[in-house]
Structure 1
Amino acid sequence: MISKRLFRILTFGLLLIFSGNISAQYIITGRVTDASNGDPVPFANVALKGKNIGTATNFDGVFTLRTKVLSDSLFASFVGYKSRYKVITQSPGTQTINFQLESANRALEEVVVYSGENPAFRIIRGVIANREKNDRKRLTAYEYDSYSKMELDVDNISAKLREKKFMKKIDKAIEKFEKIAGEDGKPVIPTFISESISKFYYRESPQRKKELIEKTNVKGVGVHDGGFISQLVGGNLLANYNFYDNYVPFFGKDFTSPIGDNWKGNYKYFLSDTTEIDGHPCYEVEFDPKRVQDLVFTGKMWIDTTNFALVQIDASVGKGANLNFIEKIKIQQELERTSEGAWLPAKTRFLIDIEQITKNSAGMLLKMYISNRNFVVNQPKPLSFYDLASEIAEDAKEPDPNFWKAARFDSLSKQDLLASSLIDSVRNIPVVKTYVEVAEIVVSGYKRFRNFDIGPYINAIAFNKLEGMRLRLGFRTNPDFDKHWILRGFVGFGTNDLRAKYSGEIDYLFSKKRWTMAGFRHTYDVERIGLTQELIGDNKLFYAFTRWGNFSGAFYRRENEFFFTKEPTKGLSFTVALTHRSFDPLFRFQFRENPELGKDSPVKDNYDETFFTFETRFAKNETFIMNGNDRITLDTKRIPVITFRYQRGFKDVLGGNFDYHKFTLKAYQTFRLGTLGRSAYTLSLGYTPSTLPAPLLFPHLGNETFFYNRNAFNTMKYFEFVSDKYASIQYNHSFEGLVFNRIPAIKKLKWRLVASANVLFGSQRKENVELMQEGKPRPFESRYLDRYGFDSLDPSVPFVEVGYGIDNIFKIFRVQAFHRLTYLDHDKATPFTVKASMHFQF
């Protein structure tokens, strides 16, 4: 029999034991990352196996799970990844368990609803109904402080590539990086890493944006200076995504938003859970594409249950989408509510994984992280403040690590620190430097030296009937030479005509903020009627190929030009120029000096012209970034770009032979046609009331090459038609994957259907026709080639051609057939032709 005292002692001891077990708490912490690149996986589910106990990772992939009971293992899961289980230590206290998740092909199962509709539909409708009060566009302006981090890596390194000599030199560093990525991580080689502190400003009406880069730290293989790159590393100009828009644009593509107006026709939805995000009770909604080939997302989003605002989103585009060279695209965004009710992006991650071009090469991985804070809303700046979209402070370059430790919004991970040290090792390897230089030449067309660049290489050599082998060497100075003075030019020589060609230009850049430049150029070269660079435009590849072959319609041209250009306000620019040109044709050409005398008129086979040019260009919301002493356009928000030009010719000024007036107006626009794809058109109008030789009128751009040219009439011959007044429209449409994505056997090829139509109305006045008729006979030198009639169009019958074809063949080729529908009885008309082109696109 146990005494009462002993019983009390045993009872007290048992209570202590049980109370200890009841109060014991297990804490599990860790981080969930992507096994392919080591990046965090935000919003992943982490839970005990067999228990209804779990949590979710934050935006940095970190989780903390507190529980009073355990199971044998912990698992992590997320949309688009394979679930992973790990064993738990069965002892009280804190333990750390990290997960590396591998990507998985996932198809969301259809949800069968026996009564009523899918409950997720009500939530999406609520988001759209409340879009106006939650979308940042309701704000008149906003600004914030921003920290951005960007990294560019080489990934998907093939086994054969790793056997290369230069790869073995950095093998030890790669092994270290693999360990940081995790036991299931894949090797990546960082080649560029940057971070920046900036202030971002946005104004809604009229739309303006500006990023002021205050501090940068840029380190990378092949990085010459921080000017151009530092404007990109700010991040907010490139990755300021807004899912409330119907389409989320990047890299020239439009991805349908899961909360846009076209949601129901493109996505499947599943209401998977309700959870709390930073104090906001949220619906957790999964979304999957109805057709994986379409430009749509897969992922999860968290919607506030009270105001239906988007709080967080994790959206991915997989390899199955109709994109080229893309393994994966991922956008993760966390939004914060402002004092006015609208939500702004607080944190954004963007990742694009570019696949291996060949099985024995490597891919590329671009990662960007942006953290924003200190939001200020509805306090717009003056319009002039936004003139320069990206601006870098004079003392922006800051390599001091102590500064960045205090300035970063978020501390660097071990992987970030190792990436920075690895770049120092990689960029000093000679063969790596060589590869980078070759890549730079391919992209820019120039070989860079200390103060100048040599190129472009596409114009370095050509073969044609007139010049034989044409050799050309060009150059331009870069900012290392001078930040205001710019020199450029070329020298060329033909082995047949034995004539030297040359050009020299000197420019002075007064202001980058309000783009202001003046200059003078002198050129002597051989050109072709209607195929000069000012008529062809920016299609440099097509212009280079026009210098090959028979070279019909050629003439020598000597040119002197003074010009001045200025952008007084954002989107509006003016250019004025005074030009003298000579025209010395290499084909049978003549015009009547006194047309009123008819055939008795003396004729002339060359001329000089002196003219003044005024040009204005309007491109609303166009954004530029600086590239040395040049600038590169980013976009015009799909608003028409309008160009007006007036030319005034002066007789007897600097030897000019004609007085004339000439007017042209052009509008170019690209726009989305909903689910049908993307269209682009060029509308052109031209008029001259003056009597002039045909080359000074409007020779319409034909195309006798095998290469497709968007700006040309592809079934028209060179110089076939000339007008003194005309109107034309050139319309091109890409259906993207709308048609071929729905054909089972073809959709894997990722072909894209394209169509086009070109219509031209034009005519010549009687005086201009008679001017080009023969006068008194005149002997022609043997060097002259064929004579061209420069025929007129019937003002009541337009020139019409239509085309159709397939783009994205083997990811780079476009083949398009064209039918000529009118003027089929014209001399040597081309009723049908096939053109091809090659271009790299996503």
Structure 2
Amino acid sequence: MYSAKGIYTLYIKFTLCFLVLLLSGLNAGSVMAQIGVTAVKGTVTDATTKEALIGVSVFIPGTSTGTSTDYEGNFQIRTNQQKDKIQFSYLGYRTATYTIKPGEEQTLNVRLEADARQLSEVMVVGKKRKVHYSNKNNPAVDLIREIVDNKQKNRPESYDYVQYEQYEKTQMSLVNTPEKLKRNLLLRKYDFITNNLDTTLLPGRAVLPFYIQEELTENYFRKSPQARKTVVKAEKKVDFGEFVDNKGIMAYMQHMYQDVDIYDNNITILTNQFLSPIADMAPTFYKFYLKDTVRTDEGQQLARLQFEPRNPSAFMFTGSLYVTLDGTYAVQSVDMEVSKGVSINWVRDLKIKLDFEKNPDGRYHLSRSGLKADFGLTQNSDMGFYGERVVSYRDYKINEAQPGARYEGDAVVRVLQAGLGEDFWQASRHDSLSAVEVNTYTNIDSLVNMKSFRRTMDWGTALIAGYKRAGANIEIGPINTFYSFNPVEGFRLRFGGRTTNNFSKKVMLETYTAYGFKDEKWKYYLGGTYSLTDRSIWEFPVRAIRVSYQKDTSIPGQELQFVQEDNFLLSFKRGDNDKWLYNETYNIDYLREFENHMSYRIGFRNWRQSPAGSLQYIQVGDGSGDDEAMALQHLTTTEASVELRWAPNEQFLQGKIYRTPVANRHPVFTLRAAAGLKGTFGGQFEYQKVALNVSKRFYLSQLGYSDVVTEGGYVFGQVPFPLLAVHRANQSYSYQLQSYNLMNFLEFVSDQYASVHIDHSFNGFIFNKLPLIKKTKLREFVTFKALYGKVRDENRPYENPGLLHFPTDANGLPITYTLENKPYMEASVGIGNIFNFFRVDLVKRLTYLDHPNVSELGIRGRFKFDF
């Protein structure tokens, strides 16, 4: 959209962290004051081998409360209902029921006995450090290969039609020890929140839910022509009011907790790709052990396989799965967790459980999916997040065709009914909520209505997003632009603001004024955007018109991501930074987006630019008189433009006032064209420009991913150098992904060019193998950028009267060049996640090292706040 890409994502992430910091200060003086809470924890083992049992179902009979054991056989369960029984069930073992004491915390060490129906053929494997592992003559590997060979026919896509209802529940909680929460005196007036602590989910720590969302959908799939349709029937979520974008948080949660498809070769979780234990190449990267074979109550024969990565630090899983032995080789259940040696951003522990149910045709469909994640700033920190996403599926209908219109149109359709109360949700939920989850809704609602909380959130939003509310309709900011400095303006003060959605969802107004104490000049901006639909100007698909006027300074060839040019931190620059522009710009454009993610933008701009600082526009004379060189005070261009963009399957993190695309494997094509209109509103030049940009993320499984951007452009007509392609340079100390970080401002210009940028993240592939470094949770980055271009003879100064000299330094030496001889290239190596939110790169300039005042090496950093 019209704002810097990525600001909204950063805003959402910082908002979540701010909520954590806020809620972490809540008084927990009544942690144990809940009455009637029954909490049971313990370990489940095999009665004969004493081996820990993974994935044992643990539940309270007569309730919907249940859990399962982890990789060490541990479990924790809690209920507010007065029940005195707890039950343990596991395929191949006898169901065990124990008596418990209602209203008390207790520990049970459970030993399950093998079921008599278990087959006599059992393969027992000793401790793996005593056995040389091999794929050869390994029945477990043979079975995995059968699963791989039958994957396609066991996927839902193998049916002609599939229909089912889906219920999804996602929640986030603050985690800390009860003692530390008790000692914290911050915001003790909110102690009603901390009465809702859960002390049974994580050993030794309390869980304080602060966000929960539920969604009920109807889903349709058609094989040919392939189509997917999701109809959202109902949704419910915690509402933090005007200060937190609930829709944006919901979208970000869905982005983090993506669906887990065990049949995919690579499973994306928390923006990382993990190799599935039944991937095509799984036997190359995993170790497999056949633990036993069992029969279910229905007579179904199953095999239990355990798996673990050959390399403990690789992005893979550890766990067990059950697979059918009736010739279908379908997965019946999976219980797995991320290998302990894997370092993921913020994640200390991550567990996944998948259950499948049998269809009438004998095949299986996913009936329940659960993902639990424990987040923390450090591995040993008590404080952190606890996140959980549970998805259940029911009312499966196989090969029952619906009318064609059912599969057409938008992929996601919302048909939400107004006024759905708790009675509806109690009848519609696939699982009932716990008392803690129910209380989360009411407690946060009470919190949001408190003036002290709203005041705290107001200031917190100002620190995070840079805007401070000044009444209901206006925000003042961005705060980090209020003060900056540069060689032309000297000390610069700026003050501005914008309207909020309370003013209007269809209209947004922005303005600022600035003053430079050195040049003693005022600068202004005034802009407005109007939505031509009944939706917000940010909500996809957009149809809006924008008009703006700006009188301000800029640096030729600087294009920033994530930050604004007069940000205080960008006042610090390397090398000479005294060639600036004064600009006066009138702009109007119209944006139209379509549901298929095609869009076009039509624009019109009148731009008057005047050189500032040491930059001069010296016109080359025709040699007929004494005034062969003449200094021009300004250039004026009038330009009409059109932009076509296609981003197939693009998804957004959508917010109230920002949105940003979510990177995926699909390419994005952007074609831009512009024409100079000589004689229109003072335009002095006639020219045409065209540029094509293609970007795509390539996932390389265990090797991480690469973001690749290619671009080519051409300028038709004879124009002075300011209207050529002035290549994006960066002399700040902030690392800019789409700029050349060791190129000087105005160093290169072209009228035809081609470029490629490759930014590869190894995602811990190397550092996770280094014993000491892997504990730091650092990530490795490698970047390469190359630019090649040229300037045609008709656009070269000195040879063409009327053109402008290329800029020179104080000694008259040129500082602006063309790229005919060789491409400009630079490369960098970087590390990410220092303190979990910063990336630092060592950048090496590879060509044109003989140019004056260039840096061959440089260190650049930027915020890259990733969960």
Is 1:657 the counterpart of 2:649 in the alignment? no
Relative distance call for 1:84 and 1:837 in structure 2 (3 A) is closer
Relative distance call for 1:281 and 1:55 in structure 2 (3 A) is farther
**SS of corresponding position for 2:797:** helix
Q: Distance in 2 between matches of 1:450 and 1:774?
A: 58
1:694 maps to a residue whose letter is: F
1:611 equivalent in structure 2: 639
Q: Distance in 1 between matches of 2:38 and 2:226?
A: 34
Relative distance call for 1:276 and 1:459 in structure 2 (3 A) is farther
Give 1:216 deviation, angstroms.
Answer: 2.5
**SS of corresponding position for 1:165:** coil
2:761 to 693, 711, 734: 734
Relative distance call for 1:50 and 1:253 in structure 2 (3 A) is closer
Q: Distance in 1 between matches of 2:297 and 2:584?
A: 70
**SS of corresponding position for 1:187:** strand
Most deviating of 566-575 and 259-268: 259-268
- The structure that has the greater radius of gyration is 1
Give 1:451 deviation, angstroms.
Answer: 3.4
Most deviating of 161-170 and 604-613: 161-170
Is 1:481 the counterpart of 2:503 in the alignment? yes
Contact 1:191 1:220 in 2 (8 A): no
1:469 maps to a residue whose letter is: F
2:477 to 455, 470, 474: 455
Give 1:164 deviation, angstroms.
Answer: 2.1
Q: Distance in 1 between matches of 2:475 and 2:60?
A: 51
1:522 equivalent in structure 2: 549
1:466 equivalent in structure 2: 488
Q: Deviations over 1:558-588 (max 9, x none)?
A: 1111211112341211111111111111033
Q: Distance in 2 between matches of 1:63 and 1:270?
A: 32
2:335 equivalent in structure 1: 314
2:197 equivalent in structure 1: 177
**SS of corresponding position for 2:495:** strand
Q: Distance in 2 between matches of 1:77 and 1:654?
A: 74
Matches within 5 A, 1:296-445: 296-306=316-326, 307-317=328-338, 320-336=341-357, 344-356=365-377, 362-376=383-397, 390-393=412-415, 395-396=417-418, 398=420, 400-424=421-445, 427=448, 433=454, 436-437=457-458, 439-445=460-466
TM-score, scaled to structure 2: 0.78
Q: Distance in 2 between matches of 1:521 and 1:210?
A: 40
1:148 equivalent in structure 2: 168
1:24 equivalent in structure 2: none
1:214 to 233, 244, 259: 233
2:17 equivalent in structure 1: none
Q: Distance in 2 between matches of 1:687 and 1:101?
A: 74
Q: Tell me: higher relative CO, structure 1 or 2? Use CA pairs within 8 A at least 6 residues apart.
A: 2
1:33 equivalent in structure 2: none
Most deviating of 219-228 and 133-142: 219-228
Q: Deviations over 1:627-676 (max 9, x none)?
A: 226544234x3122111100111001011111100011111111123433
1:282 equivalent in structure 2: 302
Q: Distance in 2 between matches of 1:516 and 1:342?
A: 46
Is 1:256 the counterpart of 2:256 in the alignment? no
Contact 1:135 1:244 in 2 (8 A): yes
Q: Deviations over 1:469-496 (max 9, x none)?
A: 3333343334333232222333333333
Contact 1:593 1:603 in 2 (8 A): no
Identity %: 25
Most deviating of 185-194 and 689-698: 185-194
Q: Deviations over 1:224-268 (max 9, x none)?
A: 688615854995995322122222113332122211134234333
1:607 maps to a residue whose letter is: L
Q: Distance in 2 between matches of 1:616 and 1:217?
A: 37
Relative distance call for 1:52 and 1:366 in structure 2 (3 A) is closer
Is 1:553 the counterpart of 2:573 in the alignment? no
Contact 2:358 2:365 in 1 (8 A): yes
1:17 equivalent in structure 2: none
2:280 maps to a residue whose letter is: D
Is 1:130 the counterpart of 2:157 in the alignment? no
What root-mean-square deviation, in Å, do the aligned CA atoms of Structure 1 and Structure 2 show? 4.4
Q: Distance in 2 between matches of 1:233 and 1:520?
A: 31
Is 1:79 the counterpart of 2:79 in the alignment? no
Relative distance call for 1:393 and 1:447 in structure 2 (3 A) is farther
Q: Deviations over 1:600-640 (max 9, x none)?
A: 375524111111111111111112353226544234x3122
1:801 equivalent in structure 2: 826
Q: Distance in 2 between matches of 1:305 and 1:410?
A: 31
Contact 1:734 1:755 in 2 (8 A): yes
Is 1:589 the counterpart of 2:604 in the alignment? no
Is 1:768 the counterpart of 2:768 in the alignment? no
Relative distance call for 1:303 and 1:455 in structure 2 (3 A) is farther
Contact 1:284 1:300 in 2 (8 A): yes
Give 1:149 deviation, angstroms.
Answer: 1.9
Give 1:309 deviation, angstroms.
Answer: 1.7
Q: Distance in 2 between matches of 1:543 and 1:767?
A: 39
Relative distance call for 1:209 and 1:250 in structure 2 (3 A) is farther
Give 1:455 deviation, angstroms.
Answer: 3.3
Q: Distance in 2 between matches of 1:84 and 1:350?
A: 16
Contact 1:174 1:187 in 2 (8 A): no
Relative distance call for 1:462 and 1:240 in structure 2 (3 A) is same
1:247 equivalent in structure 2: 266
1:72 equivalent in structure 2: none
Most deviating of 167-176 and 314-323: 167-176
Contact 1:84 1:99 in 2 (8 A): no
Q: Deviations over 1:287-325 (max 9, x none)?
A: 223334332222222222221222222232266422232
Relative distance call for 1:560 and 1:832 in structure 2 (3 A) is same
Q: Deviations over 1:453-511 (max 9, x none)?
A: 44333434322222233333343334333232222333333333333322222222234
Q: Distance in 2 between matches of 1:711 and 1:657?
A: 31
Residue ranges of structure 2 left out of the alignment (5+ in a row): 1-36, 78-83, 87-95, 110-125, 534-538
Relative distance call for 1:384 and 1:182 in structure 2 (3 A) is closer
TM-score, scaled to structure 1: 0.80
1:9 equivalent in structure 2: none
Residue ranges of structure 1 left out of the alignment (5+ in a row): 1-37, 66-74
Q: Deviations over 1:716-744 (max 9, x none)?
A: 21111111111111222222222222233
Q: Distance in 2 between matches of 1:490 and 1:39?
A: 59
Most deviating of 646-655 and 317-326: 317-326
Is 1:62 the counterpart of 2:59 in the alignment? yes
1:752 maps to a residue whose letter is: R
Give 1:340 deviation, angstroms.
Answer: 8.0
Relative distance call for 1:543 and 1:313 in structure 2 (3 A) is farther
1:757 equivalent in structure 2: 784
**SS of corresponding position for 1:270:** strand
Q: Distance in 1 between matches of 2:700 and 2:396?
A: 35
1:31 equivalent in structure 2: none
1:505 equivalent in structure 2: 527
Q: Distance in 1 between matches of 2:711 and 2:397?
A: 44
Q: Distance in 2 between matches of 1:817 and 1:597?
A: 52
Relative distance call for 1:551 and 1:388 in structure 2 (3 A) is farther
**SS of corresponding position for 1:403:** helix
1:571 maps to a residue whose letter is: H
Q: Deviations over 1:791-819 (max 9, x none)?
A: 33342422222322333344334333333
Give 1:684 deviation, angstroms.
Answer: 1.2
